[in-house]
Amino acid sequence: MGLKNFQYTSLGELLASETLAAEDLPAAKIVKRLRHVAEDRELSRGEFLDICQWKSPRSIRQCERNAARTVEEVSRKVFATGSEKRRVELLTNLRGVSIPTASAILALSDPQNYGIIDIRVWQLLFSLKSVRENPRGQNFTFAQWYHFLKILRYHAERLDCPVRNVELTLFKFHQRFQKGTLYGDTSRV
């Protein structure tokens, strides 16, 4: 991944100059559907599958192997704990759920406090030297996700906006300026 016409030297500079992105319609529909989660503290299997299909259609067959009762039990535990590590562990124990999908579940059910980790945002953060490992932005660890989340929360607080809007702004910026293939050579990052 290379970024063409890349003019910013820091994440703060980029976010100060770019208009914060609004949610896309498909994700906005899911966020609206999930508003009840703050109170009910539970996802249905259908909601879970909608998120999985939206985030990672390639893994949907694995996600479909999770029983409704399992999804509901896991989601109750996820939304009952204050431990970010425990949340990610619980979610990634579900079939078909990787750290990016777990982050999508958290972000779409609580966009104020979470963003979605993915290759685009991570590669952009790497280019801006906000993160210093995993230049390809693949196979994330909990530590990488948590570091990512702290960066986004810091900037969201500074900008007085939801964490998801910061992440989405970075995603869309990367999309606009990416040169080459997304999963290609990162030696020119």
pLDDT digits (tens, 9 = 90+) for 97-140: 999 999 999 999 999 999 999 999 999 999 999 999 999 899 99
For 7: left if phi > 0, alpha if psi spans -120 to 50, otherwise beta; the answer is alpha
How far apart are the two ends of the chain, measured CA to CA in Å? Answer: 6
pLDDT digits (tens, 9 = 90+) for 41-97: 999 999 999 999 999 999 999 999 999 999 999 999 999 999 999 999 999 999 999
Q: How confident is the model at residue 7 (pLDDT cuts 50, 70, 90)?
A: confident
Do 166 and 159 touch, CB atoms closer than 8 A? yes
